[in-house]
Structure 1
């Protein structure tokens, strides 16, 4: 199975530990409680009417969650929710001002049959942008090439976690590899092969039967299990009653998982056509990202509303979202690049990621173009280097 972004296939299960079984609850669009009223127009540099599609459709890789906060932050008041298709549509706003177009944020996971975002982008050409992680873009490059134009996060929130009471001597992932403990992950991810190739864990330790439930870890805390620094540490301690205590973990980005997670991407063949739009839109996304880092309140309200209205088996509390937003900033998951701007790419890192993951993905059975280069995977041509997060 090819590698996808964070939770972009059936194997990528809820960080709230519930196997997702999507059912359409409601047949049509519902108007939210908010009211658009008369929004002030954005300044001309941020007016998107006439250069962008009338509706900028963004395909997300999973259900509503804080990692997508910069995108939900763009959804203005008076939005409507399609509870059948799991989509929210409203005025695309920045700093509370109307850019002149609509934004439609589409849920992934069950809403798109658990297929990858890159695949959905080629099935449905009405999608303007999709969230695709670098290893997923490498996997898709042969038949469904996408190019990332803005990074939602600087590094991946994925972790391996363990029980500190059972394993007080474990401080890092390398410590796990010094034992015979099972490392339980989802099927199809690329990072287990990466960890083995680096000698951090043994192939014999891998167990790809993770189903998203906390029950196995709770009943057998001798194992290490995959998770996300933005969810499991909070949820296990505060929302999993059978556990109710801290876990320890290490970020996979600390040990070579160098991907840009859920990077906003376009179909590569449409990059030139969309350039006039992206020249204005990408800096708006950067501003939204910086704003979300400072004040995530609006985006979290939208996310909480959508989780309720979609009414699937995705469980995501507002407290989890609040924790995630803070954790992203605290851990540098959401952070400026070296030049002080947010949302851009370190192209040397993209090149190194391609070098590292291409053979691993090829070994998994995917056909990666021999001539694939970093600049086909990501570009900084639309990034405004003057826009960055406030740093203390």
Structure 2
């Protein structure tokens, strides 16, 4: 599950929802919100962005229809519309049809109707994979690699494209209170019992405790997303999302409004692909022709969105507000800037956007599977191989972000 950012005044209830979605550097960052935030909002005029978006979506007038793609093509996301989902909305562009009551954003893309579905509260906080298995209209879903591993037998999925190179999932703390804490391991060394506040059930918690990086007694799973205890106590460690809390705590949280220090769970070894675009295993063969066309379009959408995000970010802010969610263009701009500044979005070890490193994931499987098996997690599969949950065959190697 995930998180999201807010508007200028943040209530406890609103912040609780921001963080409820967050489940998601070798050194920590005393993380001020990006100085590029204000500039990012003004990066370019909307018409230019729209033109880029239309080029992305238009790739071929009927390419997806001709490839036999489902129509409508329903993609289940993991939260309210937000910058983290920017590439998906980029496929349609800023002028799609919004249905805030249903949490559906639709538009014509290459001969079919693309339907992007909101997650989180919009689907009763079900995971996107669960929703895909419960609702036959859902063709693809955002699935974190950690969840793909621990649900390999109960809700099997295959990721075919990853918009994130690194997960934005992080732990935050007050850099003045803990000037020597730099990493997730340092958090474990510094925290007392119950001082690490997280949501219950997150895969990365199982990993960090199972690896001995943290002790179970240090973890408080009663966190509900409210910033009040973090602000009032001042000595807590708390989960967050680099694309949300860094901006929110510096600019929006009453009683704080200063930088926080952060460290990514990715850098502690939990090297998942966050919100990877995933389908059911049978789609790999049944929908191969469709995936061969769609995945390069998704790659191109990431490139276009990161190059010129303003029009989509502005639309997402308005759409989120229409869904009674707290969102702003400034927060979305800061999120996009953070994606690049912290290396969350990028080409990775190859000069290709969206491909996934099976060696990295096999290492994670080999470490994480025994932890979950020892905890009697139902969906664990003995001998799970990376190729069962990741498939790069549809990636176009010529498409690159250049960073």
- Distance in 2 of aligned mates of 1:57 and 1:223: 40
In the alignment, which residue of structure 2 is the partner of 1:384? 396
Q: How does 1:1-392 map to 2 (within 5 A)?
A: 5-6=1-2, 17-19=15-17, 42=58, 44=60, 47-51=63-67, 52-76=69-93, 78-92=95-109, 99-181=110-192, 182-311=195-324, 314-367=325-378, 368-391=380-403
**8 Å Cα contact 1:16-1:235 kept in structure 2:** no
Asked whether the equivalents of residues 237 and 245 of structure 1 are also in contact (C-alpha less than 8 Å), the reply is: yes
Deviations 1:251-280 (A, max 9, x none): 111111110000000011222111100001
Question: Following the alignment from structure 2 to structure 1, what is the Cα–Cα distance between the partners of residues 231 and 126?
Answer: 30
Distance 1:141 1:45, change over 3 A: farther
CA distance in 2, matches of 1:45, 1:78: 17
In structure 1, the partner of 2:9 is: none
CA distance in 1, matches of 2:230, 2:58: 50
Query: Structure 1 residues 315, 44: CA separation in 2 closer, same or farther (over 3 Å shift)?
Result: closer
TM-score normalised by the chain length of structure 1: 0.86
Give the structure with the larger helix fraction. Answer: 2
Q: CA RMSD in A?
A: 2.5
Cα deviation for residue 338 of structure 1 reads 1.8
How many residues align structurally?
Answer: 360
Residue by residue, what CA displacement relative to the aligned partner does 1:162-215 show, whole Å, maximum 9, x if unpaired? 011222222222222223431111100122232233333222211111100100
1 or 2 for the larger relative contact order (CA 8 Å, sep ≥6)? 2
TM-score normalised to the size of structure 2?
Answer: 0.84
Structure 1, residues 32-65: CA drift from partner, whole Å, max 9, x if none? xx9x9xx789354972123212222110011111
Distance 1:142 1:330, change over 3 A: same
Question: Secondary structure of 1:299's match?
Answer: helix
Q: Equivalents in 1 of 2:13, 2:70: separation in Å?
A: 33
Kept in 1, the 8 Å contact 2:94–2:311? The answer is no
Query: Structure 2 vs 1, CA of residues 43 and 183 (structure 1 numbering), >3 Å: closer, same or farther?
Result: closer
Aligned mates of 1:347, 1:162 — CA distance in 2: 32
Structure-1 separation of matches of 2:272 and 2:295: 20
CA distance in 1, matches of 2:230, 2:201: 20
Q: In the TM superposition, what is the alpha-carbon distance from 1:371 to its structure 2 partner?
A: 4.0
CA pair 66-136 structure 1, distance change in 2 beyond 3 A? same
Is this contact kept in 2: 1:49–1:100, CA < 8 A? yes
**Alpha-carbon distance in 1 for matches of 2:115, 2:327:** 21
- Runs of 5+ in structure 1 lacking a partner? 9-13, 23-33, 93-98
Structure 1 moving runs of 4+ over 6 Å: none
Shift of 1:352: 1.3
Q: How big is each residue's C-alpha offset from its partner over 1:301-356, in whole Å with a ceiling of 9 and x where there is no partner?
A: 22112102222xx3222211111101001111000032200001001112112112
